[in-house]
């Protein structure tokens, strides 16, 4: 049978029982719609978790000194010689050193703040890093230590800015800040000074800290400054200025990360994978929820397939004589099978399209409702959904597959009917 003939017969058949076909398609649409909706939601929320809440780069490995010293030699130190050894590991493309500012720091600010007036006194945490780690996010200057007389360039955390904008600023009537807006803001910081601790040794260093960029690689609850500045400040405060607080290794390829981790551990060092584990845990929670919803949706699709099977069995019984006539005028069993499957395929295609369009419409509605009704919480995305064409195509394809699966047995039943018996008067 030619495809054009099959198409015509299918359309004629569906037009004759369009209500039954529409009901079957509706069942498919509900299942596929739910599936597309929940998968889009799961992937969308997962993307927010991965990209905004716990941004973990697949090629980065954070190395820290061991927290417990074992044996007469103590634990491995993270000094320059260790850094040199790390840089020579295979699979390592770049090494970025980090050193905490190991003296306390505090800031007292009373002045203009982007059109408002800000008065605050806070303890400041700071870490120094090699410029390369944050260079792509630096919007002002070259992120190097300018010396004692000039403002120290600092990078703020993207997530800190988000928390400020969504949680801190609104109740205090402070302005919302974008990364570009915050660049250039300068605040005074006194190093080797604390509001909460006891007395410190060494002189207090009065400095200005100027925000030069916002980065996901910056310290979450503090400022990230050039490594040389951190070393200088530690020296002034008589703190350790030799060993590093951590090293970030950049793997040439994500597949090389496990090998790097093994070798680093072999050197007696530890991996700081707290962020990665948090991201994995959050991702797993999202995935489990999404999978449960997807399973529920698959169940609906299965029920839709069962409904199609029932409807087609009934249709085949009702059309037994018609099928017999077709056999009498030249239809082979495979033609009858193709006809029943094609009818189901069209039902599945229409149901799959309708369900996918419905899911997209519902997702758009949820996003609009979220934008207008939900509070502006941190990391609130513009959309909770991943509008990926592959999900849509998969939804439509699954609709067709569910319908074809439902039609499988009825089509075989129809093809196996004895035409001589069905045309008997």
Partner 1 sequence: MIHARQLRKAYRDGADEVRVLNGLDLDVRAGEFVAVVGPSGSGKSTLLHVLGGLDASYAGEVEVAGVRLNELNDVALARFRNRQVGFVFQSFHLIASLSALDNVLLPAFFDVEAVAGPRRKRAEDVLARVGLIEKKNRVPAQLSGGERQRTAIARALFAEPKLLLCDEPTGNLDETTGGEVIELFRELHRDGLTILVVTHEDRMSTAAQRVLRLTGGVLRPSGGEGR
Q: How far is the CB of 318 from partner 1 (least distance, A)?
A: 11
**Does residue 314 bind partner 1 (CB under 8 A)?**
no
Binding residue for partner 1, selected from 25, 316, 331, 417, defined by CB under 8 A: 331
Instruction: Name every residue whose Cβ is closer than 8 Å to that of residue 177 and which is 6 or more positions away in sequence.
Output: 114, 161, 164, 165, 169
288/318 with CB nearer partner 1: 318
Give the strands of the sheet with 60-64, arranged side by side. 116-123, 105-113, 186-191, 205-215, 152-157, 223-226, 126-129, 92-100, 246-251, 60-64, 270-271
Binding residue for partner 1, selected from 39, 326, 354, 400, defined by CB under 8 A: 326
**Does residue 322 bind partner 1 (CB under 8 A)?**
yes
Q: Binders of partner 1: how many residues, by CB under 8 A? A: 30
Q: How far is the CB of 331 from partner 1 (least distance, A)?
A: 5
**Does residue 324 bind partner 1 (CB under 8 A)?**
yes
Distance from C-alpha of 28 to C-alpha of 340, rounded to nearest angstrom: 17
DSSP letter string, 247-272: EEEEESSGGGHHHHHHHHHHTT-EE-
Ramachandran angles phi, psi of 37, nearest 5°: -60, -50
Binding residue for partner 1, selected from 220, 294, 328, 391, defined by CB under 8 A: 328
Instruction: Name every residue whose Cβ is closer than 8 Å to that of residue 13 and which is 6 or more positions away in sequence.
Output: 339, 343
Q: How far is the CB of 16 from partner 1 (least distance, A)?
A: 5
Reading the block at residue 117, the tokens are 């007036």
Tell me the C-alpha to C-alpha distance, in Å, between residue 113 and each of 108, 185, 240: 13, 9, 35
Q: How far is the CB of 22 from partner 1 (least distance, A)?
A: 17
Residue that is written with structure tokens 């758009």 in the block: 364
103/323 with CB nearer partner 1: 323
Binding residue for partner 1, selected from 265, 317, 334, 368, defined by CB under 8 A: 334
Q: How far is the CB of 7 from partner 1 (least distance, A)?
A: 10
Q: How far is the CB of 413 from partner 1 (least distance, A)?
A: 16
Site residues for partner 1, 335-374, by CB under 8 A, read: 335
Q: Where are the alpha helices (DSSP H) in 78-226?
A: 80-87, 131-134, 158-163, 179-182
Site residues for partner 1, 390-419, by CB under 8 A, read: 418-419
Q: How far is the CB of 25 from partner 1 (least distance, A)?
A: 20
Return the range that interacts with partner 1 (CB under 8 A); candidates 10-18, 39-47, 95-103, 174-182: 10-18
Residue that is written with structure tokens 């927290």 in the block: 67
Q: How far is the CB of 288 from partner 1 (least distance, A)?
A: 50
Binding residue for partner 1, selected from 85, 252, 333, 387, defined by CB under 8 A: 333
Instruction: Name every residue whose Cβ is closer than 8 Å to that of residue 113 and which is 6 or more positions away in sequence.
Output: 174, 175
CB 112 within 8 A of CB 241: no
Return the range that interacts with partner 1 (CB under 8 A); candidates 69-77, 149-157, 288-296, 322-330: 322-330
**Does residue 330 bind partner 1 (CB under 8 A)?**
yes
- Chain residues binding partner 1 by CB under 8 A are 1-2, 4-5, 8-9, 12-13, 15-16, 321-322, 324-335, 418-420, 423-425
């Amino acid at each position: 049978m030619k495809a054009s003939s099959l198409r015509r017969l299918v359309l004629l058949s569906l037009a004759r029982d369009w209500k039954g076909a529409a009901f079957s398609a509706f069942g498919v649409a509900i299942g596929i719609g739910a599936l597309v909706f929940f998968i889009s939601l799961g992937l969308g929320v997962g993307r927010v978790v991965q990209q905004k809440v716990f941004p973990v780069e697949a090629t980065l490995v954070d190395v820290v000194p061991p927290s417990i010293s074992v044996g007469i030699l103590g634990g491995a130190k993270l000094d320059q010689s260790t850094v040199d050894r790390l840089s020579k590991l295979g699979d390592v493309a770049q090494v970025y050193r980090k050193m905490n500012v190991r003296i306390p720091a505090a800031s007292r600010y009373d002045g203009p703040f982007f059109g408002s007036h800000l008065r605050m006194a806070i303890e400041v945490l700071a870490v120094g890093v090699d410029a390369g780690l944050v260079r792509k996010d630096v919007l002002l200057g070259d992120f190097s230590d300018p010396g004692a007389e000039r403002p120290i360039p600092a990078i703020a955390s993207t997530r800190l800015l988000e928390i400020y904008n969504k949680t801190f600023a609104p109740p205090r009537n402070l302005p919302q800040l974008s990364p570009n807006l915050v660049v250039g803001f300068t605040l005074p910081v006194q190093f080797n000074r604390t509001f909460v601790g006891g007395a410190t040794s060494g002189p207090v260093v009065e400095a200005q800290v100027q925000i030069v960029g916002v980065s996901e690689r910056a310290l979450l609850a503090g400022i990230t400054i050039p490594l040389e500045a951190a070393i200088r400040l530690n020296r002034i405060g008589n703190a350790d200025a030799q060993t590093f607080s951590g090293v970030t290794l950049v793997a040439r390829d994500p597949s090389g990360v496990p090998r790097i981790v093994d070798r680093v551990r072999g050197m007696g060092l530890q991996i700081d994978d707290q962020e990665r584990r948090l991201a994995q845990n959050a991702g797993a929670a999202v995935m489990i929820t999404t999978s449960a919803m997807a399973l529920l949706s698959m169940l609906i699709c299965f029920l839709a397939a069962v409904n199609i099977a029932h409807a087609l069995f009934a249709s085949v019984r009702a059309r037994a004589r018609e099928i017999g006539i077709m056999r009498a005028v030249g239809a082979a069993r495979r033609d009858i099978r193709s006809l029943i499957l094609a009818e189901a395929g069209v039902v599945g295609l229409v149901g799959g399209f309708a369900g996918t369009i419905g899911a997209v419409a519902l997702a758009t509605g949820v996003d609009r409702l979220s934008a207008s009704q939900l509070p502006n919480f941190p990391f609130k995305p513009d959309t909770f959904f991943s509008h990926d064409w592959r999900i849509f195509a998969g939804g439509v394809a699954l609709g067709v597959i569910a319908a074809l699966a439902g039609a499988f047995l009825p089509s075989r039943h129809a093809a196996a009917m004895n035409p001589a018996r069905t045309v008997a008067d």
